[in-house]
Amino acid sequence: MSKAVDRDALTSRTIPQITLSKGDVSSMTPPPIPPSASLAAAERAQQRFSVTGNAIITGGAGALGFAASRALLEHGLSGLMIFDVNPGQAQAKIDELAADFPAAKIRATKVDITDEIALNEAVVKTAAELGSVDSLFCFAGVVDCTHAIDMEASQWRRTLDINTTGSFLCAQAVAKQMIVQKTGGSIVFTASISGHRVNYPQPQASYNVSKAAVLALKNCLAAEWAHYGIRVNSISPGYMDTILNEGDGLTATRKIWNDRNPMGRMGAPSELTGIVVLLASSASTYMTGADFVVDGGQILF
């Protein structure tokens, strides 16, 4: 009987609807203000890719996150908060950044990105300490290489919990803060070419699915949050030359990756920083819901 009542109730339900921005000067998505005509060409070029405000970077102690942090600071970022499950391991890198950029506020805090309550508290604390949260870059994540036939449910859930749910919770917490600030901002997920194609030769079903889900999540949030002035994009790196892809045990696999890449090599962490700066700067104010593949052409084959 209860099932019949529940089914009948479907015909009388109402559902929420996405609100789109009007795009006029009174909205959170107005057309850009042209740069002053009095500026010299070099000043206009510098202003185009200048980065203002404060950013949160998850996984900022890793090679990709650290390279992104340095690039953003080089382009004018005022404050940086690194979210890490073990910030003590990042202290040497944080000290290095603080020495190189003494005018910036650079901090780190311990956060488990799958803990909703801790995340919300950390974002509010960051806003209080830095003054605002204007950008979020999600680099925290895990990789799992297991044959699907042998994978345990706990392995599957852990990968999706960190890579997909963790990315969502970070974005949600930061979006709430941006809405309170009424400033809008930029949220950038780290997806992967693994969300576009099946990897070879390593089996990575849980990782591939988690990153494909991030791509779908990016689309959904870009549509829902545009009227708040929040842009949501993603970067899909290819195989990057980091500690995750080092070791004698990966020599044969690295050769396969390189041989199947038009550019014949893996990417350097610094080669992601151009798109990082773009997405944090005013040069990307009309970009949302986009994914930027940086892979040397790996997914062409």
In this predicted model, what pLDDT tens digit does every residue of 196-216 receive, in sequence order? 999 999 999 999 999 999 999
Please determine, looking at this structure, whether the domain spanning 40-294 carries the CATH number 3.40.50.720: yes
The first and second tokens of residue 33, run together, are 């203000």
What are the tens digits of pLDDT across the range 211-233?
999 999 999 999 999 999 999 99
The predicted structure's pLDDT at residue 13: 82
What are the tens digits of pLDDT across the range 264-294?
999 999 999 999 999 999 999 999 999 999 9
The first and second tokens of residue 279, run together, are 């997405």
38 pLDDT tier (thresholds 50, 70, 90): confident
3 pLDDT tier (thresholds 50, 70, 90): low
pLDDT average, residue stretch 7-11: 77
* 192 in catalytic set: yes
The first and second tokens of residue 244, run together, are 């995750």
* 194 in catalytic set: no
CA 90 vs. chain centroid, Å, equals 19
58 pLDDT tier (thresholds 50, 70, 90): very high
Catalytic-role residue among 69, 186, 192, 281: 192
Average model confidence (pLDDT) for the chain? 94
Integer Cα distance of 43 and 55 in angstroms = 24
What are the tens digits of pLDDT across the range 85-120?
888 877 888 899 999 999 999 999 999 999 999 999
The first and second tokens of residue 57, run together, are 């970077």
Closest CA relative to residue 185, chosen from 194, 176, 197, 196 = 176
Contact yes or no for 299/196 (Cβ under 8 A): yes
* 207 in catalytic set: yes
177 pLDDT tier (thresholds 50, 70, 90): very high
3 state DSSP class of 111: coil
What are the tens digits of pLDDT across the range 232-248?
999 999 999 987 777 77
pLDDT average, residue stretch 181-186: 97
Closest CA relative to residue 208, chosen from 145, 161, 259 = 145
Q: Treating both helix axes as pointing N-terminal to C-terminal, what angle do 63-74 and 273-280 enclose, rounded to 10 degrees? A: 50
Count of CB atoms situated within 10 Å of the CB of 4: 8
3 state DSSP class of 15: coil
Catalytic-role residue among 211, 234, 236, 239: 211
Enumerate residues 6+ apart whose C-beta is below 8 A from 184.
Answer: 28, 29, 178, 228, 229, 230, 231
Question: Model pTM?
Answer: 0.94
The predicted structure's pLDDT at residue 164: 98
The predicted structure's pLDDT at residue 1: 46
Domains in the chain: boundaries: 40-294
Burial of 98 (0-12, 13-18, 19+ CB in 10 A): middle
The predicted structure's pLDDT at residue 99: 96
Count of CB atoms situated within 10 Å of the CB of 179: 16
Helix or strand run (H / E) with residue 173:
helix 166-181
CA 199 vs. chain centroid, Å, equals 21
Catalytic-role residue among 78, 135, 207, 228: 207
